[in-house]
Amino acid sequence: MKITFYGHASLGIEVNEIHILVDPFITANEKASHIDINTIKADYILLTHAHQDHILDVETIANRTGAVIVSNYEIVTHYQKKGFEGHPMNHGGSWDFKFGNVKYVNAIHTSSFPDGSYGGQPGGFVIEGEHKNIYIAGDTAITMDMKLIPLQIKLDLAILPIGDNFTMGIEDAILASDFVQCDKILGYHFDTFGYIEINHEEAKRKFFDKNKDLMLLDIGESIEL
Ligand code: NI
Ligand code: MN
């Protein structure tokens, strides 16, 4: 499994030559100006919630790639009405896709579309693919529900928001990594806006002090699991 960070909460995941794009917000992210969305491959686009900073580039990329949009019922219906392919899910549900199993799990946040219309309830994803299991928390507060995840699955990576203000900050993300029983963490949802700027070295040190590994990728950088 290869994971590429496209900035903010945008991720590319490659499993068995299938390309999954998560929460594409790239063209309005000044820090991601070197990423050309026309070169991003996508067979599936997974959306955690409907906020602009998670869906901005969905239509452009789905138009070009024909990607199947996977999210909550309300978000998928919104895109199906516009003619896009979609696979609706809801909290607690899982589905075997070609690349592996996806479960849509709870998040504590909000989920309106940019025009204010209802975007369902926000979520995160647990993905099992190619013998690697990852948790993408989405925008969320820390929640006791995270403790349910390791009852059923052993995670290889937890992708957690760490920027604070709109989501968990660093201290809560450390606790969240305890809840999901995963000491390998990829941080996201930081630095994009003034509200969520973090000190990278301090963040890494705080995780290190708890015997955890926080990875912060450059935009465009990939890791192999
Ligand atoms: Ni949000
Ligand atoms: Mn967000």
Predicted confidence (pLDDT) per residue in 15-44, tens digit? 999 999 999 999 999 999 999 999 999 999
**CA-CA-CA-CA torsion sign (142, 13, 50, 77):** negative
Give the separation between CA 67 and CA 94, rounded to whole angstroms. 19
- What dotted CATH number matches 2-224? 3.60.15.10
Give the separation between CA 163 and CA 178, rounded to whole angstroms. 18
Give the separation between CA 124 and CA 115, rounded to whole angstroms. 22
| Two tokens, residue 55 | 């869906």
Report the pLDDT value the prediction gives residue 130, as an integer from 0 to 100. Answer: 83
**Strand residue runs (E) in the chain:** 2-5, 11-15, 18-22, 44-46, 68-72, 86-89, 94-97, 100-106, 123-129, 132-136, 157-161, 184-188, 213-215, 222-224
Q: What confidence tier does 79 reach under pLDDT thresholds 50, 70, 90?
A: very high
Q: What confidence tier does 157 reach under pLDDT thresholds 50, 70, 90?
A: very high
CA of 50 to the centre of ligand 2 (A): 9
CA of 101 to the centre of ligand 2 (A): 24
Report the pLDDT value the prediction gives residue 98, as an integer from 0 to 100. Answer: 96
CA of 214 to the centre of ligand 1 (A): 22
Average pLDDT, stretch 137-155?
98
pLDDT at residue 146 above 90?
A: yes
CA of 225 to the centre of ligand 1 (A): 27
Q: What angle do CA 212, 215, 217 make, to 5 degrees?
A: 175
Tell me the residues surrounding ligand 1 (ion) with CB < 5 Å: 51, 139
**CA-CA-CA-CA torsion sign (30, 121, 139, 49):** negative
- Average pLDDT over all residues of the chain: 98
pLDDT digits (tens, 9 = 90+) for 102-129: 999 999 999 999 999 999 999 999 999 9
pLDDT at residue 209 above 90?
A: yes
Q: What confidence tier does 9 reach under pLDDT thresholds 50, 70, 90?
A: very high
Give the separation between CA 142 and CA 176, rounded to whole angstroms. 6
Average pLDDT, stretch 157-186?
98
Report the pLDDT value the prediction gives residue 166, as an integer from 0 to 100. Answer: 98
Give the separation between CA 58 and CA 49, rounded to whole angstroms. 12
Ligand number nearest CA of 122 is 1
- Percent of the chain scoring above 70 in pLDDT: 100
- For the chain, the 3-state helix, strand and coil shares in percent, each to the nearest 5, are 25, 30, 45
Give the separation between CA 216 and CA 200, rounded to whole angstroms. 8
- DSSP-assigned beta bridge partners for residue 44: 20, 68
